[in-house]
Chain A
Amino acid sequence: MKRYLPIKFLQGLLFLGFILFKLAITPAMTPEKDIPLPITADHIRLVALGEPPLAAKLVAFWLLTVDVQAGNWLRLEELNYPNLTGWLETIQELDPWSEYPGMVASGVFIDVKDSQRIRWIIDFVLRNFEQAPERRWRWLAQCAVLAKYRLHDRPLALRLASALRTHTRPGALPAWARDMEFLLLQEIGEYETARQVILGILQSGEALEPREQAFLLQRLRELESDLSGRYVE
Chain B
Amino acid sequence: MAIDKPFVIVKYTLIEAVSRRFVLLFAAAILLSIVISLYAASLSMLEKQQTLAAFYGFSMRLFSAGLFAAWVITAEARSLDQANAPLFLALPVSRVQYLLARLCGYALIAVIAQLAITLPLLVLPISSGTVLAWALSSVCELLIVIMLAMTLVLIFSQSVVCLFLFTVIYLFARSSGEFWRHSNTILNGGGGLEQKIIAWPLKLITYLVPRLEEYAGAYWLLRDTVPPMSLRNVTLETAVYVLLLLAIAVERIRKRAF
Quote the shortest CB–CB distance from A162 to chain B (angstroms).
28
Q: Which of A27-35, A47-55, A80-88, A181-189 contacts B (4 or more CB under 8 A)?
A: A47-55
Say whether, besides A42-B182, A97-B223, A100-B45, A50 and B175 are in contact (CB < 8 Å).
yes
The answer to whether B58 touches A54, judged by C-beta atoms less than 8 angstroms apart, is yes
| B residues adjacent to A (C-beta < 8 A) | 40, 43-46, 51, 54-55, 58, 62, 171, 174-175, 177-179, 182, 212-214, 217-219, 222-223
Quote the shortest CB–CB distance from B113 to chain A (angstroms).
20
Say whether, besides A57-B54, A103-B45, A51 and B182 are in contact (CB < 8 Å).
no
The answer to whether A54 touches B55, judged by C-beta atoms less than 8 angstroms apart, is yes
Q: Which residues on the A side are within 8 Å of B214 (C-beta)?
A: 50
Bound Cα distance from A118 to B175, whole angstroms: 38
The answer to whether A46 touches B182, judged by C-beta atoms less than 8 angstroms apart, is yes
The answer to whether B45 touches A53, judged by C-beta atoms less than 8 angstroms apart, is no
Closest residue of A by beta carbon distance from B59: A54
Bound Cα distance from A47 to B171, whole angstroms: 9
The answer to whether B178 touches A51, judged by C-beta atoms less than 8 angstroms apart, is no
The answer to whether A50 touches B174, judged by C-beta atoms less than 8 angstroms apart, is yes
Bound Cα distance from A46 to B223, whole angstroms: 22
The answer to whether A53 touches B219, judged by C-beta atoms less than 8 angstroms apart, is yes
Whether A45 sits at the interface, judged by CB under 8 Å, is: yes
Bound Cα distance from A46 to B217, whole angstroms: 15
The secondary-structure label for the interface of chain A is helix
Contact of B213 among A49, A57, A61 (CB under 8 A): A49
The secondary-structure label for the interface of chain B is helix
Quote the shortest CB–CB distance from B42 to chain A (angstroms).
10
Contact of B218 among A42, A45, A54, A103 (CB under 8 A): A54
Whether A134 sits at the interface, judged by CB under 8 Å, is: no
Q: Hey, what's the 0/1 contact readout for A49-77 against B, CB within 8 Å counting as 1?
A: 11111100100010010000000000000
The answer to whether A50 touches B54, judged by C-beta atoms less than 8 angstroms apart, is no
List 14 interface pairs A-B (beta carbons < 8 Å), by A numbering: A42-B182, A45-B175, A46-B178, A49-B175, A50-B178, A50-B213, A51-B58, A54-B55, A54-B219, A61-B40, A61-B44, A99-B46, A100-B45, A104-B45
Quote the shortest CB–CB distance from A4 to chain B (angstroms).
32
The answer to whether A53 touches B175, judged by C-beta atoms less than 8 angstroms apart, is no
Q: Which residues on the A side are within 8 Å of B178 (C-beta)?
A: 45-46, 48, 50
Bound Cα distance from A86 to B222, whole angstroms: 24
Known: A51-B219, A53-B222, A99-B46. 10 other contacts (CB 8 A): A45-B175, A47-B175, A49-B62, A49-B174, A50-B178, A51-B58, A53-B219, A54-B219, A57-B55, A104-B45
Bound Cα distance from A61 to B212, whole angstroms: 26
The answer to whether B222 touches A46, judged by C-beta atoms less than 8 angstroms apart, is no
Bound Cα distance from A51 to B174, whole angstroms: 9
Contact of B175 among A48, A54, A95, A103 (CB under 8 A): A48
Bound Cα distance from A45 to B222, whole angstroms: 17
Quote the shortest CB–CB distance from B120 to chain A (angstroms).
18
Q: Which residues on the A side are within 8 Å of B223 (C-beta)?
A: 53, 97
